[in-house]
Amino acid sequence: MYPNNPEKLSQARTVLQKKARDNARTPVQWSSAPHGGFTAPSSKPWMRVNDDYPTINVESQLGKESSVHSFWQRSLEGRKIHKDVFVYGDFKLLDEGNDQVVVYLRWSEKEMFITVLNFSGKEAEWGGLGSVTVQKWVAGNYEGGFPSLETSKLRPWEGLLGICKGHPLE
């Protein structure tokens, strides 16, 4: 619209840059190869690859039980098996006043799960389950087992998924 107006062109670039999806994306780090294996070593990607690609990449996670890749494989498999809960089930947010921890329930007529997530680098406490109790932890992001069912403490950045009993609306 303003091909000869440098001020308007600069303003348009600024607006487009803020609205572009590229600010929240980086190339997939497939391997420890140059550019994370995203493109040929002789190429120069137009988006910067994170500096950690030699150690954090898809290839380094394959076959490792505790990797993010394995976590998501198990999560997606569980979602398929329990789709009545995780796809079609009801949702209730618990412990809403907690600014470090997010706790929520998902349930169907047959089963109920709780998700507890500590979004901080510090140990955190959670509570407020009402008439619901955790029967068993089935997934988490720390190696070496799960915390006790009686505890309400989470380690830094810890996430847990548990099977529950009780009634979520009481």
Domain spanning 68-166, CATH architecture: Sandwich (2.60)
Could you tell me the residue ranges of all domains in the chain?
Answer: 6-61, 68-166
Q: Residue range 92-109: average pLDDT?
A: 90
Task: Note the pTM of the prediction, 2 decimals.
Answer: 0.68
Distance between CA atoms of residues 141 and 155, nearest Å: 10
Give mean pLDDT, residues 44-68: 88
pLDDT tens digits for range 109-161: 999 999 999 999 999 988 777 788 889 998 888 877 787 777 788 999 998 89
Using DSSP's 3-state secondary structure scheme, residue 92 falls into strand
In a 3-state reduction of DSSP, which class is residue 154? Answer: strand
Confidence of residue 170 (pLDDT cuts 50, 70, 90): low
150 neighbors 134 (Cβ within 8 angstroms):
no
> DSSP letter at 54?
T
- Phi/psi region, residue 138 (left: phi>0; alpha: psi -120 to 50; beta: rest), is alpha
Per-residue pLDDT for 60 more than 90? yes
